[in-house]
Amino acid sequence: MAELTAEQTLLAGMLNKPLFVAFRTPQDLTRMSELLGAHLQWAIAAQNRGELFASGPFVSDQHAPGQAGGMSILRAADLAEAERLIRTDPFIANGVFGVEIRKWMLMEGGLTVHVTFSDKRASLL
């Protein structure tokens, strides 16, 4: 068996976690305010089921949050499952946003959580 290159060794030691990124593009924003509560409830429920890794709107100086689209990172077994999940989001189901889903491999980066026991606070650094 051939020896691994230095790059292959580095890659093999990384997380290599497959996830799915749903890119939201504005379609019909006239119902965004009306459906915001239902969308947020969908996101919290998906998070609590372990299906939603992260989600949020794109922001810019020219647009209010969400008007430039957004993205959600989903945990799913395959693209079809990710598609089924995102289609249940009221924003997507009602045509507020269109969506493109791409498989993504989480390789590097980090997350730091600071927990203070005395006052039950936690923060991301």
What would the pLDDT profile of 2-27 be if each residue is shown by its tens digit? 899 999 999 899 889 999 999 999 99
Looking at the domain assignment, is residue 2 inside a domain?
Answer: no
Mean pLDDT of the chain: 94
- For 106-113, what is the mean pLDDT? 92
Residue 77 lies in a domain: yes
Residue 118 lies in a domain: yes
Number of domains observed in the structure of the chain? 1
User: Smallest Cα–Cα separation from 56: which of 46, 66, 47, 64?
Assistant: 66
Strands in 49-107 per DSSP E: 52-57, 70-74, 97-106
Domain enclosing residue 111, as ranges:
8-124
Q: Is 53 within a domain?
A: yes
Residue 59 has pLDDT above 80, yes or no: yes
The CATH number given to whatever domain includes residue 113 is: 3.30.70.1060
Give tens-digit pLDDT for 62-87.
988 888 999 999 999 999 999 999 99
